[in-house]
Structure 1
């Protein structure tokens, strides 16, 4: 049987869109990724789709109608009242009102929903613009306005799937997704994130009704430790549950150079997790997520697409791809004198390190007392 080649979903809504000059999401991420992929000649037009914008009806599958209306009005007015700010956290708590404050997250959601539909019968889809895993039903949270992973997972459920695994390797706990499915045995959530970091949830002992596991990892979490997590936790859980579909939230803020976390992964770890899940999941959606260094995000998400599409990784980037990276700007201290390899390479040098006892113990803890699969894996 011929396995379908992976699909890539993107959009131009992100180009020139910014949360504001002083916000961590002032940087281009999806445009830089797509430009880099085009410069590498890794985008086959037959397998690239523009993300649709999710409809109000689709958004209210999870979010409240009042909240969606408030987002639409905030975009139209480019301001919010104190009451809306207090109630929905739009324009507050790091969630600014910006030019595309409704259209941009609605487009990310549309991409996640489309990805679920495209994988109804199997396959792989990469949606780098999705992955906003903190948004809650009636308010913005953690730079996230619409919870597109939740909407993509709900689409899979609406299509008849009953056994889904969500894996989150963002530096921040995937709290919004865990909360959405805490009482739904059809979706099992697994989050690997930095211990003690915002949103200060996702403790090792938190199991959300039994259908969630959390691995809070220590500062300096390295490639050796992620390899252990992959083989001692992620894959054993996947093989026990035998899910019909897997969604991987592949935030790039766990990389060593990211300013909003203190983890020390190279993008080799993201590629390894992606490859392992691709090889075992009947259906796979890979989203983006966090990531606040434009060079490391673009390189990571491009390498993820290359991994999904079995592209050979270049030792050095061709001139057109290097030009894309040299054209990026970052107005933080680390962006004033970036190292040369941020321009010339795609894959980081590996970042091995000690395998600490707390990581080993956490993996053992999350694989104990796993629930039985919600449904047998489909034949074929």
Structure 2
């Protein structure tokens, strides 16, 4: 694989969790349209994601759960026992027309990515990153856990040591559940403290292979750069993985309604660039959270540009600007009622630097002493 490959699907364009749900907004389709409008997504770099077969999902998910998810889509209803057992038909994980096909498409791309990366390369799958799914239960807008499936697929295709880095505003609870204690997998999560799912305290090392960094509200670009340089990169270098999976959730930026972090999209792009520069043979970048259609579309399009080495212009061409002006945010929070002009005309946010607060510095120093941060994971 000589150039990065983009895995996408048209299923994301017409599919929504419902008119009131945070995932009512278009995301992956916006990234596809923006990337094409910029001339960054030629046909040779795009591949339509397959939909995972139910049996393929049972390498981690239980057969009973997969069958319940299929049945819920077919019947557009669940019984109370199914809701209680599997978390389907809840406010977070509602009944909607594509509730099996859409997550199965994301899972299919992650399973395919592991196979395609057998000989190395870079793959971008913005429809992935559903890190809250559990083997037998949906959670946090995630019906399936495609990051775990991607790691299992990578391992099946020959990757021996796999590092998973998660910079979503919310903790990777489902991924940690699936892979905690695995000596061949390093898990790093940077997430807002006292934020749902209220897991991932700094003391939780997941059996020795997890580095959990809960961060303060108001996390700024300077602090994220310190996290990158003092924790993420040294831990990856020490672990020496032959595959890296990055969950690049876009909900840690100032404009997102579901966090209280204040990053610009530059912080995410800088992490993507830094991981790319490590020269790991296999790199898979997933999406994740992100609930402001303009901020997530711009951020994830910039991720694709970064992976390809494209220069991000100060002003978007007319075709790309029209993609952003066509977005609608029904019943948006106050922030989206009068979008600022730069949400239409640029990809890059203004940087949001700030001081490195003592609590952040202390937590980084604390984690640096962990064996996992030095590549030493117990068998």
> TM-score category by the smaller chain?
over 0.9
Match of 1:107 among 101, 105, 108: 105
Any conservation in 1 of the 2:9–2:49 contact (CA below 8 Å)?
yes
- What residue number does 1:378 align with? none
* Separation (CA, whole Å) in 1 of partners of 2:83 and 2:214: 31
* Separation (CA, whole Å) in 2 of partners of 1:161 and 1:335: 43
SS at the partner of 2:26? Answer: coil
SS at the partner of 2:20? Answer: coil
Residue 336 (structure 1) aligned with residue 334 (structure 2): no
Query: How does 1:359-378 map onto structure 2 within 5 Å?
Result: 359-371=360-372, 373=375
1:172: how far off? Answer: 0.1
Q: CA RMSD in A?
A: 1.2
Any conservation in 1 of the 2:235–2:375 contact (CA below 8 Å)?
no
Q: Deviations over 1:283-308 (max 9, x none)?
A: 11000000000000000000000000
Residue 232 (structure 1) aligned with residue 233 (structure 2): no
Query: How does 1:161-200 map onto structure 2 within 5 Å?
Result: 161-200=159-198
- What residue number does 1:287 align with? 286
- What residue number does 1:349 align with? 350
* Separation (CA, whole Å) in 2 of partners of 1:195 and 1:93: 23
Match of 1:244 among 237, 242, 245: 242
- What residue number does 2:23 align with? 25
Q: Deviations over 1:227-280 (max 9, x none)?
A: 000000000000110111100000000011000000000000000000000111
- What residue number does 1:83 align with? 81
- What residue number does 1:306 align with? 305
Q: Deviations over 1:63-86 (max 9, x none)?
A: 000000011011101111111111
Q: Deviations over 1:128-169 (max 9, x none)?
A: 000000000001000000000000000111123221100000
Q: Deviations over 1:193-231 (max 9, x none)?
A: 001100000001110000001110000000000000000
Runs of 4+ deviating beyond 2 Å: 371-375
Q: Are the structure 2 counterparts of residues 292 and 149 from structure 1 closer, same or farther at C-alpha, using a change threshold of 3 Å?
A: same
* Separation (CA, whole Å) in 1 of partners of 2:376 and 2:115: 21
1:56: how far off? Answer: 1.3
**Greater CA drift, 90-99 or 194-203:** 90-99
Query: How does 1:195-274 map onto structure 2 within 5 Å?
Result: 195-274=193-272
* Separation (CA, whole Å) in 2 of partners of 1:45 and 1:366: 43
* Separation (CA, whole Å) in 2 of partners of 1:374 and 1:354: 31
**Greater CA drift, 115-124 or 307-316:** 115-124
1:374: how far off? Answer: 7.9
SS at the partner of 1:9? Answer: strand
1:188: how far off? Answer: 1.1
Any conservation in 1 of the 2:110–2:149 contact (CA below 8 Å)?
yes
- What residue number does 1:124 align with? 122
TM-score between the two structures when normalised by the length of structure 2: 0.96
* Separation (CA, whole Å) in 1 of partners of 2:315 and 2:178: 42
SS at the partner of 1:54? Answer: coil
* Separation (CA, whole Å) in 1 of partners of 2:314 and 2:267: 17
How many residues are paired up? 373
SS at the partner of 1:32? Answer: helix
SS at the partner of 2:189? Answer: strand
SS at the partner of 1:119? Answer: helix
SS at the partner of 2:371? Answer: coil
Match of 1:156 among 147, 154, 161: 154
* Separation (CA, whole Å) in 2 of partners of 1:374 and 1:96: 41
* Separation (CA, whole Å) in 2 of partners of 1:373 and 1:359: 22
1:360: how far off? Answer: 1.1
* Separation (CA, whole Å) in 2 of partners of 1:145 and 1:159: 25
Any conservation in 2 of the 1:233–1:363 contact (CA below 8 Å)?
yes
- What residue number does 1:7 align with? 5
SS at the partner of 2:12? Answer: coil
Q: Deviations over 1:157-195 (max 9, x none)?
A: 112322110000000001111110113111110000001
- What residue number does 1:146 align with? 144
* Separation (CA, whole Å) in 1 of partners of 2:360 and 2:240: 24
Instruction: Structure 2: state its 5+ residue gaps.
Output: none
